[in-house]
Amino acid sequence: MLLVREPNSKFVKIRCPKCKNEQITFGKSATMVKCLVCEKVLVEPTGGKSKIKARVLEVLE
């Protein structure tokens, strides 16, 4: 029997605090993520889990 590990990283739906735009990003993003509308920095990489500077609406499976 072969065991397959389940990934512990997820996609996250976030909302920009400045313009209220909603977008989906990776929970362990390796690059800085900006809002697609106003270009405010929403996610900063830290080497592991990202530092999210926006409101998390839901964690997607």
Does 7 score more than 90 pLDDT? no
Whole-angstrom distance, CA of residue 52 vs CA of residue 50: 6
Q: Give the contacts of 3 (CB within 8 A, at least 6 positions apart).
A: none
Q: Taking the CA of residue 42 as centre, how many other CA atoms within 13 Å lie in the half-sphere pointing to its CB?
A: 28
pLDDT digits (tens, 9 = 90+) for 14-44: 999 999 999 999 999 999 999 999 999 999 9
Q: Is residue 24 part of a domain?
A: yes
Domain count, the chain: 1
Kindly report the pTM of this predicted structure: 0.81
Q: Where in the sequence is the domain holding 15, given as residue range(s)? A: 8-28+54-61
* 12 in any annotated domain: yes
Q: Is residue 36 part of a domain?
A: no
Is residue 2 situated within a structural domain? no
Q: Does residue 17 lie within any of the structural domains?
A: yes
